[in-house]
Amino acid sequence: MASDDRPQITLITPPSFQTDIFADQLARVLDAVDIACLRISLATKDTDNLGHAADLCREIAHARDVAVVIDTHLLLAERHGLDGVHLTDGARSVRKARKDLGPDAIVGAWCGASRHEGLNAGEAGADYVAFGPVGDTGLGDGSRAGHDLFAWWSEMIEVPVIAEGGLSLDLIERFAPVSDFFAIGEEIWRAEDPLAALKALIAPLG
């Protein structure tokens, strides 16, 4: 349940990256900002590329005691020593992921703007539920996960909730009291200095 505590940050990788450049950027960010979890979210479906990215991210993140999850791919999570998975199909795969990866793995579920899907994911054993987008991304049908959804969830449900998608300084300030985490990715990687962009974005968190 969200409290007065400062929301934590989940860092999402860019959909694609140059290994050497991203490795340096990632290390700089993790050394300078308190990141709770790194989420590997690549556009590629090539298992070799995904595996290489998983090894790179795990090495950098685990050296700094940051957990690593990967979108969807249970087998890659196991094979590459990651801490769990971020499921993108709501509650549908939560039970299977929990069964396959075991009780200690992180299993999270993206549930769009659906309270019902979030409740189902929580009941199925998800460690967290992600709702979004909270801002304007220009993607999908344009629907957003509203502040009222987070406010209700943080008051009624104990499963931690992540706000993500189209985050801005104003939205982070507004959603901080009702979110346990913010998931930040594309908001910073397009910047010339991703670390400076992240620090500016999360300035309202103190």
Q: Which CATH architecture group holds 8-205?
A: Alpha-Beta Barrel (3.20)
Q: Are 7 and 179 in contact (CB under 8 A)?
A: yes
pLDDT of 139 reads 65
Q: What are phi and psi of 180, to 5 degrees?
A: -90, -30
Query: Can you give the residue ranges of every domain in the chain?
Result: 8-205
Q: Are 167 and 135 in contact (CB under 8 A)?
A: yes
- Residue 87 to residue 74: CA distance in whole angstroms: 9
pLDDT of 142 reads 73
**Which H/E stretch holds residue 161?**
strand 161-164
The distance of Cα 205 from the centroid of its chain, to the nearest Å, equals 17
pLDDT of 102 reads 96
pLDDT at 140 over 70: no
Residues composing the chain: 206
pLDDT at 3 over 70: no
State the average pLDDT over residues 2-14: 83
- Residue 40 to residue 22: CA distance in whole angstroms: 12
pLDDT at 151 over 60: yes
Angle formed by the axes of helices 47-62 and 19-32, nearest 10°: 30
pLDDT at 2 over 50: no
In terms of pTM, does the model score above 0.85? yes
DSSP string over 65-125: T-EEEEES-HHHHHHTT-SEEEESSTTTTHHHHHHHH-TTSEEEEE-TT-HHHHHHHHHHT
